[in-house]
Structure 1
Amino acid sequence: MRYIVTTSYNANKEIVRLAKNIAEEFNVKYINRNHVSKYLKSGKIDFYYVVDKKGMLKIKWKDGEFFFHQGIAKIRMENIKHGERDYLIESLKPEKTDVVYDATCGLASDAILIANFAKKVVATEGSEHIYRVVKWGLKRYISDEEWINNAMKKIELIHDNYKNFVRNQPDNSFDIVYCDPMFENPIYESNSLNPLRGFAVYEPLSLEDLEHMVRISRKRVVIKTLKKDSLYEKIKNYFSKEFISRKSGIVYGVINKSEV
């Protein structure tokens, strides 16, 4: 995909300098924001990175944008505090001493929530563009929720495909492994994920991947899938326990290492 780096309109010198440095790092052109529309109309670029006035990095294209935000992590934590169930946390059962591997980071909303309950989250993201925006956000985003700021500090984000990563880790490297591959039957009502779809890595989870995830885990592996997806049928017999949302059909399947 073809892209450039620019700033928001009327950016100050510091933001322009930052954008030029990013363009150099990405090995692409820096373009003044006033000229970006010409590049889009002529078809010279597919999208562009924007450094906004707060120094945050986002991706924009003709009819959409993708940027880092605290997402639904804040809402989910409020729900937990009010006694509502959260199947992700229930299935993972993270403890304060646990190091958790999040195989498919995406916007990092799951990783942020997990990190609040764990010692550390190591996350991988296979998409270069999603990785760049989220990595930048984890370093620079400031939430009005202190728990989110603390959680983000406990996330180590790595640009790698989980299939490659799990094969290069020693046995029992992590207490818990969590994988949330892209659904075969997307839930388009999930507005937070929709902007990512054009940049996401679509690679189905294989049984060999699952075996490596079990191998590198110490306590358990949790796979998030849809009950109507073929992945569920393929791996459901491996689950020790399931947490299923009746409303969405989302399944958190737990494989306890002690039962393998």
Structure 2
Amino acid sequence: MAIVTISQKGKELEAQQAKQVADLLQLPYVPRRGLSLPNLQAQYEGEDVLILSKKGPKLYTGEGKAHEFHLSMAQLRIIAYDRGQCDHLIRALGNETVTSFLDCTAGLGSDSLLVSYARPDIKQLVALEGNPLLAYVTNYGCRHFVHKSEAVTMALRRIQVCAIRFESFLKQATTNSFDVVYFDPMFEVPVKESPQFLSLRGHVLATTMTEDILQEAKRVAKQRVIIKERPFSSVFQSWTPTYMEGGTYSNVAYGVYEI
């Protein structure tokens, strides 16, 4: 089981906040007592550590630096989008009006942020993350991160992060409750990733796409289901999309399954 603690310089206020977060996540709170993160993690058999500090929460997995919320690749994609460059995910949304979007694999929140920024007409944008610690960090960023661009800040605020596995969420969801349902599962063949994500690989819940999951997603979606994968992925070979966005000159493709 993962644990919750505070930063080395954390005071009583941070300790109280950490205890509240531990109760919220139903995880044990562990006093820091000057221990380094590797030593603290070793005492708890390598479990992930959520650290509360004045600057916000961080997630330590034992690989690289502790992860804290950052715009990551979304920053570069937003800049490119503002310059008029094509973004294949935004094109995959189609030309219909989209008012609701379900991101089944939130992770760092990059895709949800780009969609929220590019399509501010979306009224309901729900992002699901099965790892409760990562969900907490991402949700904190969406609620508190302030960008120099007010439009980016507002795009973050429109994202509703939920700590739940998408399999469970989809089963409970009402038919046709979201215009678009989106998946970015762990690639079968990895591509070069941002340094920020490398420390999280193996700690983000990896779920293989199945026929049942795709059918549930189609039931929940009004317009389309979008899956991000490598162009040659077995996912696209097993279930042929209506059409693909990207892939020809890109390492990734977006398979669009129209309803």
TM surpasses 0.5: yes
- Per the alignment, residue 59 of structure 2 pairs with 59
Question: Which digits, 9 at most, give the CA deviation of each residue in 1:185-207, with x for residues without a partner?
Answer: 11243434322212211221112
- Per the alignment, residue 164 of structure 1 pairs with 168
Alignment of 1:36-47 (within 5 A): 36-37=36-37, 38-42=39-43, 44-47=45-48
Alignment of 1:127-166 (within 5 A): 127-166=131-170
Q: Where in structure 2 are there 5+ consecutive unaligned residues?
A: none
Instruction: Provide the rounded CA distance (Å) in 1 between the counterparts of 2:236 and 2:250.
Output: 14
Change (3 A) 1:45 1:70: same
- Per the alignment, residue 86 of structure 1 pairs with 87
Q: Where in structure 1 are there 5+ consecutive unaligned residues?
A: none
Indicate if the aligned counterparts of 2:59 and 2:134 stay in contact, CA closer than 8 A. no
Shift of 1:103: 1.1
Alignment of 1:70-81 (within 5 A): 70-81=71-82
Range moving further from structure 2, 57-66 or 106-115:
57-66
Change (3 A) 1:78 1:53: same
- Per the alignment, residue 197 of structure 1 pairs with 201
Alignment of 1:243-258 (within 5 A): 243-257=245-259
- Per the alignment, residue 22 of structure 1 pairs with 21
- Per the alignment, residue 3 of structure 2 pairs with 4
Question: Which digits, 9 at most, give the CA deviation of each residue in 1:16-53, with x for residues without a partner?
Answer: 33223323434313322512454345564433221223
Q: TM-score, normalised by structure 1?
A: 0.87
Indicate if the aligned counterparts of 2:63 and 2:199 stay in contact, CA closer than 8 A. no
**Identity level (%):** 27
Change (3 A) 1:39 1:227: same
Q: TM-score, normalised by structure 2?
A: 0.87
SS at match of 1:23: helix
Question: Which digits, 9 at most, give the CA deviation of each residue in 1:137-190, with x for residues without a partner?
Answer: 222222222122211221122222212222222221111111111111112434
Indicate if the aligned counterparts of 1:94 and 1:114 stay in contact, CA closer than 8 A. no
Aligned Cα RMSD in Å? 2.3
Change (3 A) 1:128 1:23: closer
Shift of 1:226: 0.9
Letter of the 1:90 partner, please give it. Answer: R
SS at match of 1:83: coil
Q: For this pair of structures, how many residues does the alignment match?
A: 253
- Per the alignment, residue 179 of structure 1 pairs with 183
Change (3 A) 1:75 1:44: same
Instruction: Provide the rounded CA distance (Å) in 2 between the counterparts of 1:139 and 1:27.
Output: 22
Shift of 1:123: 1.7
Change (3 A) 1:162 1:94: farther
SS at match of 2:199: helix
Change (3 A) 1:94 1:29: farther
Change (3 A) 1:186 1:4: same
SS at match of 2:207: coil
Instruction: Provide the rounded CA distance (Å) in 2 between the counterparts of 1:80 and 1:197.
Output: 27
Shift of 1:94: 7.2
